[in-house]
Amino acid sequence: MKLSIVSGLNESNIKQEEVYSKFSNICELISEFNYDGIELSLLEPEKLDVNKLNEIIQSFDMAIPAIGTGSTFIRFGFSLGHHDEYLRKKSIERLDKYISFANELNSKVVIGLIRGRYSNLSSLKREKLNIKTSLKLCCQIAENNDVILVFEPINRFEIDSYNTIAESIDLLEEIGSDNLRLLIDTFHTHLEEDPVLIWDYLPEIASSVAHIHLADCTRRAPGTGHFDFREFLNIFKDAGYNEYVSVETIMKPSFEEVAKETAHYLSVIL
């Protein structure tokens, strides 16, 4: 099991030289705490020089395990489930760019907030159908690029569909692509799953999981709340999970403190 942490690069708003300097500084910082990688949350990955990123990350003997896509919905309003066909097509076009980018970095691509939310012009049933149809097209692109998409159940307060692990597993089985796997986030798990039954259910679906996000029930660093990370992570260790667990939290009091405290906390409980 390898450890990474999520960070943005603000690639759309600052000069490229500053982006690579920022990336290098983050890598240097987290390498001091024995991280194995950095997960990037990006808005316009096509603006970045993949060779330059690879050069920097490899110099620290780390990897970029996954690329976050949520800002596509937050900033542009494009989503896989949108009632407007044009905006659905734009979300798929954006994902095509993420997938091409991920192919060159040997990274996975996260399917989370990019699913969107439905409005009074649509319905939950229609939104879910749109997501399935759009996601099938994205899986074809991923298969052609040998990239894994990781689908994230997200709590009902942030998104309207596929909030639970079971719903998401059903969707993955319906689509039936080897390039579509599950991402589990401990914060969303805490909010959406049965607090008793979840511990028996996780071992059953562990083989479907290809990426994990870590955040406590406070949405801050692991150890700041009461989520049982020891039991959670041991379930995946026992199942032979050897992919990344990635810290995705509110970065307070600072990115450095979250990175440092999380690394220390995990080293103590595991």
Residues that are catalytic: 152, 248
Q: Is 233 exposed, middle or buried (0-12, 13-18, 19+ CB in 10 A)?
A: buried
Task: Classify residue 12 by its DSSP letter.
Answer: T
What tokens were used for 115? Answer: 């699913």
How many whole angstroms separate alpha carbon 16 and alpha carbon 34?
A: 27
CB burial of 108-128 (b: ≥16 within 10 Å; e: otherwise) equals bbbbbbbbbebeeebeeeebb
- Of 179, 78, 182, the closest CA to residue 131 belongs to 78
**Residues 135, 50, 14: CA angle, nearest 5 degrees:** 95
Considering only CA atoms, which of 270, 187, 247 is closest in space to residue 65?
A: 247
The C-alpha atoms of residue 96 and residue 69 are separated, in whole angstroms, by 11
- CB contact set of 27 (below 8 Å; sequence gap of 6+): 38, 56, 57, 59, 60, 62
